[in-house]
Amino acid sequence: MTDTVLPQRRSEIMRNIGPRNTLPEIYIRSQIHRMGFRFRLHVRKLPGTPDIVLPRHGKVILVNGCFWHGHQNCKKAGLPKSNVNFWKKKLTRNQKRDQENIAALVGLKWKVLTVWQCELKNAGQLDRKLKKYLGTP
């Protein structure tokens, strides 16, 4: 199998946001696809390369891993036991970058919804949240 991601791009991916195409992201994509929406993935020309973009609706969905993005008050988001300072710095930087990206997107008139990995535990609630945000196709 050939690896189509350049090493540099890969380290960028790992550094910035953790892996793409995570399980939560795949789940959400299939849900909104079933709801009848068209969307684009990982749009690099927008701030932060948002995971899911619905250009026609002016809406963006960010699917965040709780650990990488430092979900507050979340069990999945605790700091590792070793290299605490390293991780603290890194995750704080990720959170700051998320905030900056959201602000930049909003500045460009995009609506932004953040979905956290842990929200997949309650699929019914998550589906309602997505429907409420997206409205009708």
Contact set with Zn ion (CB under 5 A): 66, 71, 74, 76, 116, 118
The CB-of-123 to Zn ion minimum distance in angstroms stands at: 15
- What is the Cα–Cα distance from 64 to 57, expressed in whole angstroms? 21
Q: Is the dihedral of CA 59, 75, 77, 34 positive or negative?
A: negative
The CB-of-66 to Zn ion minimum distance in angstroms stands at: 3
The CB-of-74 to Zn ion minimum distance in angstroms stands at: 3
Tokens at 24, concatenated: 């939560």
Residue 134 phi/psi, 5° resolution?
Answer: -85, -25
- What is the Cα–Cα distance from 21 to 59, expressed in whole angstroms? 19
For Zn ion, which is the closer residue by CB, 43 or 133? Answer: 133
For Zn ion, which is the closer residue by CB, 54 or 98? Answer: 98
For Zn ion, which is the closer residue by CB, 5 or 23? Answer: 23
For Zn ion, which is the closer residue by CB, 54 or 62? Answer: 62
